[in-house]
Structure 1
Amino acid sequence: MSISKWLGATLGWSFGGPIGAILGFALGSLVDGFSNGGIKVNQGNFGAPTQSRTRSGDFEVSLLILAAVVIKADGSSDKRELDYVRAQFVGMYGKERANHAFKLFKSISQQNNIPVRDVCLQIKQMMDHPSRLQLLHFLFGIAKADGNVSTAEVNVIHTISNYLGIRSLDFESIKAMFYNSSDNAYKILEIDKSATTEEIKKAYRNMAKKYHPDKVIHLGPEHQKGAEEKFRQVQEAYDQLQKERGF
Structure 2
Amino acid sequence: MNFVQWIGAGLGWTFGGPIGAIIGWVVGNALDSGASTFFDEFDGQKTSKRPKRVHSKRSTSRRPQEKTTQSGDFEISLLMLSAIVIKADGKTDQKELDYVRQQFVSMYGKQRANNAFKLFNGIMKKKGISTRQICMQIQRNMDHASRLQLLHYLFGIAQADGHVSEDEVNSIRKMAGYMYINLSDFESIKAMFFSDTNNAYKILEIEKDATDDEVKKAFRTMAKKYHPDKVQHLGEEHLKGAEEKFRKVKQAYEQIQQERGF
Shorter-chain TM range is over 0.9
AA of the residue aligned to 1:89: F
| Aligned pair partner of 1:89 in 75, 95, 104 | 104
Moved over 6 A (4+): 45-49
Report the CA distance between 1:49 and its aligned residue: 8.1
Judge conservation of contact 2:3–2:39 (CA < 8 Å) in 1: no
1:80-126 deviation per Cα after TM superposition (whole angstroms, max 9, x unaligned): 10110011001111111111112211111110010111111111000
Judge conservation of contact 1:15–1:49 (CA < 8 Å) in 2: no
| Aligned pair partner of 2:199 in 177, 181, 184 | 184
AA of the residue aligned to 1:36: E
In 2, distance between residues paired with 1:49 and 1:148? 43
Fraction of identical pairs, as percent? 60
In 2, distance between residues paired with 1:40 and 1:155? 39
Report the CA distance between 1:185 and its aligned residue: 0.4
The aligned counterpart of 2:260 is 245
The aligned counterpart of 2:22 is 22
Gaps of 5+ in 2: 60-66
Count residues in correspondence: 245
In 1, distance between residues paired with 2:121 and 2:58? 27
Gaps of 5+ in 1: none
Report the CA distance shift for 1:50/1:34 in structure 2 as closer, same or farther (over 3 A).
farther
Judge conservation of contact 2:138–2:179 (CA < 8 Å) in 1: yes
In 2, distance between residues paired with 1:168 and 1:99? 35
1:21-78 deviation per Cα after TM superposition (whole angstroms, max 9, x unaligned): 1111122333355432267589xx9967865622111111111001000000001110
Whether 1:153 and 2:158 are equivalent positions in the alignment is no
Judge conservation of contact 2:200–2:252 (CA < 8 Å) in 1: yes
In 2, distance between residues paired with 1:230 and 1:6? 29
- 1:131-146 mapped onto 2 (5 Å cutoff): 131-146=146-161
Question: TM-score w.r.t. structure 1 length?
Answer: 0.94
In 2, distance between residues paired with 1:228 and 1:35? 40
AA of the residue aligned to 1:35: D
